[in-house]
Amino acid sequence: MTQKRIRDYGIMPGRIKTGKRNKITDVPGVRVGHCTVKEGEIHTGVTVILPGPDNAFLNPYTAAAYVHNGFGKSCGLIQIQELGTLETPIALTNTLNVGKVWDAVAEYVLRQCENDGAEALSINPVVGECNDSRINRISLRAIGAGQVKKAFDAAGEDTEEGDVGAGAGTICYGLKGGIGTSSRVIKVGEKEYTIGVLVQSNFGATEDLMVDGRPLGREILEKYGNEAEDPVKKTAFSEQDKGSIMSILATDLPVTDRQLTRIIRRLGVGIARTGAYTGHGSGEVMIGFTTANRVPTKGLRREEEELRTLTAIPEETINRAFLAAAEAEEEAILNSMAAAGETRGLKGEYYRSLSDILSQEGEIH
């Protein structure tokens, strides 16, 4: 079945044009892979974002990380913040599988280095997470090396959305959440650049949901709120803004890690456009990288090189990237919900799909 996206309902977030696929993989070289596990009480997975086709450990990417609210258990952020580089693919999973996925990504990089004739003595795998315990029996810790390998093997440009990979068990605004992505194209000088975003959405109170400036969450509660007490339907809603969202931004725009930090902070604007206010129990973590301005390790530089030259946009043009990041984030969140199907939680509760609520005219059924 073809997955629905928010634009299929006539809702067009923002005003900047999208990339060809309207996905993070519109950034040249970026690929995404998922492994989804749905067996009995297990409803979870892992998603990997590969910044390029080569070994990132030997030729790191200029990168940035920003923690908007730190209720989370991510790995690898402090080195990105300190050095401004990304040296591994990025993986997303559930809270209790971060360590196991870290180990699998480290092994993946070790094998890459071995094949490239290099020795890796210190690796900084980057792993993000959301807590999917309302739908997934998280204590079973179902994601390990085998699932991570399947995600890497499945990596490609035409990535799926919704309740796949790390989004299999997530909830967004009390509806089914998941993986969502979007992209925007901006022009600087005579050249076009792409900004792509991928989210793992697991946050928000139902009442706060805004879609295209419309208080859809309140309308949903007015129409379906009484179903929460129905012993058969047991429709679930979220009363609090909690649960977390991981946001990954990729671009080919030439920027410094400082400029990239400024850009990824605007992902919070996109989150706010969907209605959330960043509640106490929600972790908002943003990670960004650019495929421009690679930072080769010593082995790939001439020994006499002591200075590094890079290209960066002037600050006067950065507003274009700010707006593109905010728009792509908003649409990625809505896509994560529109593409996800209805799901039952571990207690039998029912999480509706946004696509089941919206008609082709964007009205509630």
CATH code of residue 123: 3.60.70.12
pLDDT of the residue at 64: 98
Q: Say if 87 falls within a structural domain.
A: yes
Residue 190 domain-assigned? yes
* Residue 197 in domain: yes
Domain that holds residue 257: 14-357
Q: Tell me if 337 sits within 8 A of 353, measured CB to CB.
A: yes
Q: Going by C-beta distance under 8 Å and a sequence separation of 6 or more, which residues neighbour residue 72? A: 128, 129, 244, 283, 285
DSSP for residue 364: B
pLDDT confidence of residue 298: 60
Residue type, 293: N
Angle at CA 65, nearest 5°, toward 59 and 68?
170
Tell how strand 85-86 and strand 61-69 pair up.
antiparallel
Q: Is residue 365 part of a domain?
A: no
The pLDDT, as a whole number, for residue 162 is: 97
Q: Which of 74, 244, 247, 336 is catalytic?
A: 244
Which residue(s) pair with 185 in the sheet?
A: 194
Beta carbons of 290 and 234 less than 8 angstroms apart: no
Residue of 282, 336, 353, 355 with catalytic role:
282
Distance CA 124, CA 98 (A): 13
Contact 201, 181 (CB under 8 A): no
Active site residue 222: no
Q: Tell me, what's the pLDDT at 352?
A: 93
Instruction: Give the chain's length.
Output: 365
- Residue 302 confidence (pLDDT): 52
Please identify which of the residues 284, 327, 330, 331 carries the catalytic annotation.
284
Would you give the DSSP letter of residue 40?
Answer: T
Structurally, the chain folds into a number of domains equal to: 1
Q: Phi, psi (5° rounding) for residue 217? A: -60, -45
Residue 5 belongs to some domain of the structure: no
Q: How far apart are CA 222 and CA 39, in angstroms?
A: 34
Note if 239 is an active site residue: no
CA–CA dist 179, 167 (Å, integer): 5
Spans in the chain with pLDDT lower than 70:
1, 298-305, 360-365
Burial 177-198 (b: 16+ CB within 10 A, else e): bbbbbbbbbbeeeeeebbbbbb
Q: What's the CA gap between 80 and 65, in Å, rounded?
A: 6
Contact 333, 316 (CB under 8 A): no
Is there a domain that residue 7 lies in? no
Residue 187 lies in a domain: yes
CB 349 within 8 A of CB 184: no
Looking at the domain assignment, is residue 1 inside a domain?
Answer: no
At position 35, the amino acid (one-letter code) is: C
Catalytic residue check, 284: yes
